Amino acid sequence: MDELFKPYHLPEAEVMLRVVQGFDPPGVAGRDLRESILIQLRMLGRENSLTYEIAERYFDDLVSHRWADVAKEMELKPVEVQSVADEIAKLDPKPGMKYSPDPERYIVPDLIVEKIEGEYMVFVNDTSLPRLRIARSYQALARNKEMFTGENKEFVSRKLNSANWMIQAIEQRRQTMLKVMGFIVDRQRSFFENGVQHLRPLTLREVADHIEMHESTVSRVTNEKFVQTPRGVLPLKYFFSSGLATTSGEDISARSVRDKIQKMVEEEDVHKPMTDQKIVELLKTNGVKIARRTVAKYRDQLGVLPARMRKRV
């Protein structure tokens, strides 16, 4: 067998792996998150530290915030284990990500909403683009009965009709976008005045019914479209959200409820974090009727950990 392709044994591969693990950035080539963290600690000269020992022996418990269990096993105070977890949290879980190409994406809004003399006005952001039109010379050429006859005349007529159809379709799409955004502005005026917690429930079907178009048409003109508003550049899909009932009989947007939950968690006592049931009860006092499982779903969507894992000792 060719010496270049002779088989290698696992111990030899592990020797080469350790060589690669010594490369920059620290933590690269770890076979899992635990190994990557241990590599970073070793390269920081922390191999003989309490942090390294706990990470090596109780990594899964640290990830699950079982600090009391680790403290009991190590005969430490829970706050000491928490400090270890805080130190590890400062390390890079994805050390190669910083070198991954991530081209910046610049968003050019398709629509603009401006408040002019107390009223919100909607404009299509296409003033810098030329309007499509058929050149007069070609129109005159197509009308020349002496130049085109038979198949040639039919061909020119068909192409001219296609061009007219395209121009009309673009203008119709433009008008549809204005109608959709106009209805959104009317429906969501409280949002523009007071912020996300005043966002009202809105569905594609409601917009479609109002502008007398098919729901799929509304979906197409709002997909991947952005609007510049006094409250920032937002995707049009931002304004669509299901509703939850309130004790007053009105509906409230699910997005605004998620925002309420986010703020409640940010302002909670970190030593006594709120359970999902507690959040349900607090929302109820604010007039929002919501199930505990719905709170749990919204919390997961926000990337907020359960109360047990948010608790600080």
Which domains, ranges and CATH numbers included, belong to the chain?
17-99 (no CATH), 111-239 (no CATH), 243-310 (1.10.10.60)
C-alpha 252/C-alpha 201 separation (Å) is 6
pLDDT greater than 70 at residue 311 = yes
For the stretch 9-36, pLDDT in tens is: 888 888 888 899 888 889 998 999 999 9
Q: Is the pLDDT of residue 8 over 80?
A: no
Whether the pLDDT of residue 112 is over 60: the answer is: yes
Is omega for the bond preceding 11 within 30 degrees of 0, making it cis?
no
* 238-269 pLDDT tens trace: 998 877 766 666 677 888 888 899 999 999 99
pLDDT at 186: 92
Query: Which candidate, 109, 145, 75, places its Cα nearest to that of 224?
Result: 109
Rounded CA separation 303/282 (Å)? 20
- Report the C-alpha gap between 305 and 63 in whole angstroms: 12
The percentage of residues in the chain with a pLDDT greater than 90, rounded to a whole number, is: 37
Can you point out the beta strands (E) in the chain? 111-116, 119-124, 226-229, 232-235, 243-245, 251-253
pLDDT of the residue at 106: 81
pLDDT class for 135, splitting at 50, 70, 90? confident
* The pLDDT value given to residue 245: 67
pLDDT at 100 over 80: no
| CB within 8 Å of 214: residues ≥ 6 apart | 208
Length of the chain: 313
pLDDT at 184: 92
Look up the pTM and report it.
Answer: 0.67
Is residue 125 within 8 A of residue 226, CB to CB? The reply is: no
Compute the average pLDDT of residues 44-61.
93
Local structure of residue 28 (DSSP, 8 states)? T
163/139 Cα distance (integer angstroms): 11
pLDDT band, residue 185 (cuts 50/70/90): very high
Model pLDDT, residue 51: 93
Helices (H) and strands (E) in the chain, counts: 14, 6
- Which two structure tokens, joined as six digits, stand for 272? 């006594």
pLDDT at 234: 92
With cut-offs at 50, 70 and 90, classify the pLDDT of residue 182: very high
Least Cα distance to 53 among 33, 74, 69 occurs for: 74
Based on C-alpha coordinates, what's the Rg of the chain? 31
Give the pLDDT confidence score for residue 146 in this predicted structure.
67
User: What's residue 3's pLDDT?
Assistant: 62
Q: Residue 244 is which amino acid? A: L
pLDDT band at 137 (very low <50, low <70, confident <90, very high): confident
Distances from the Cα of 83 to the Cα of 54, 65, 90, 266, angstroms: 11, 12, 11, 21
- The whole-number pLDDT of residue 250 equals 65
Percent of the chain at pLDDT above 70? 91
**Measured between alpha carbons, how far is 214 from 3 in angstroms, rounded to an integer?**
69
Higher model confidence: residue 232 or residue 250?
A: 232
Exposure string over 227-253, b if 16+ CB within 10 A, otherwise e? bbbeeeebbbebbbbebbebeeeeebb
For residue 301, give every residue at least 6 positions away whose Cβ sits within 8 Å of its Cβ, in sequence order, or none: 258
Local confidence band at 290 (pLDDT 50, 70, 90 cut-offs): confident
Which residues lie across from 116 on neighbouring strands? 119
Please check the confidence at residue 38 and state whether its pLDDT lies above 90.
yes
Whole-number pLDDT of residue 41? 94
